[in-house]
Chains A and B, each alone.
Chain A
Amino acid sequence: MIAPFFKFGMFGTEASLVVAFVIGIGFGFILERAGFGNARKLAAQFYFQDLRVLKVMFTAIVTAMVGVYALSRVGFLDLSKVYLVPTLLVPDIVGGLLLGMGFVVGGYCPGTSCVSASTGRVDGMVYVAGMFAGLVGFGEVYPKIQSFATMTPMGHLTIAKYFDIPYGLLVFAVVVMALAAFVAAEWAERKFGDGSAGTTGGLLESTRRLTPARILALGLLVLGLFALVGGDPYRGNTVSIDPRALALSAGRGVVKVSPGDLADSIVKGTQEFRIIDLRPAAEYAAYHIPSAENIPLAALAPDSVSSDDKVVLYSDSDLQAAQAWFILRATGDRAAYILAGGLNAWKDQVLYPVRPAKPTALEAAAFEKRAAVSRYLGGTPRAAGASSVQPIEPAPAMVAPIAPPAAPDMARPKKRAAREGC
Chain B
Amino acid sequence: MNSAPETHPPKPYWNPYLAGFLLGLVLLASFVVMGRGLGASGAFGSVTAVAMHAVAPAHVQHNAFYSEYFGDGSSNPLKDWLVFEVLGVFVGGLLSGALANRIAVKIEKGPRVSNGWRLAGAFVGGAMMMIGAKLALGCTSGQALTGGAVLNLGSWAFMICVFAGAYALAYFFRRQWL
Contact = CB atoms under 8 A, between A and B. Distances in A.
Contacts of A62: 24, 149
B154 A110 contact: no
Contacts of B131: 95, 98, 102, 134, 137-138
A244 B51 CA distance: 53
B158 A129 contact: no
Contacts of A412: 72-74
Interface residues of B, number: 135
Contacts, number: 599
A267 to B, nearest CB: 12
Nearest to A119: B97
Nearest to B69: A418
A52 B134 CA distance: 26
Interface in A260-302: 268-271
B33 A5 contact: yes
A139 B52 contact: yes
A413 B109 CA distance: 48
A85 B174 CA distance: 34
B103 A28 contact: no
Nearest to A49: B178
Interface of B: 13-42, 44-45, 47-49, 52, 63-74, 77, 79-97, 100, 102-110, 118-119, 121-170, 173-174, 176-178
A212 B135 contact: no
Contacts of A137: 127, 131
Interface residues of A, number: 149
Given A23-B30, A40-B108, A126-B122, 16 more contacts: A64-B31, A71-B28, A86-B137, A95-B132, A97-B132, A98-B165, A100-B166, A101-B166, A102-B130, A106-B126, A116-B93, A122-B107, A130-B125, A216-B17, A422-B38, A422-B139
B132 A107 contact: no
A86 B154 contact: yes
Contact of B19 (A34, A143, A161): A34
Interface string A4-31: 1111000001001111111111111111
Interface stretch (A75-83, A366-374, A377-385): A75-83
B136 A99 contact: yes
Contacts of B170: 43, 46-47, 104
Contacts of B63: 139-140, 142-143
B38 A120 contact: no
A415 B73 contact: yes
A61 B145 contact: yes
A320 B156 CA distance: 44
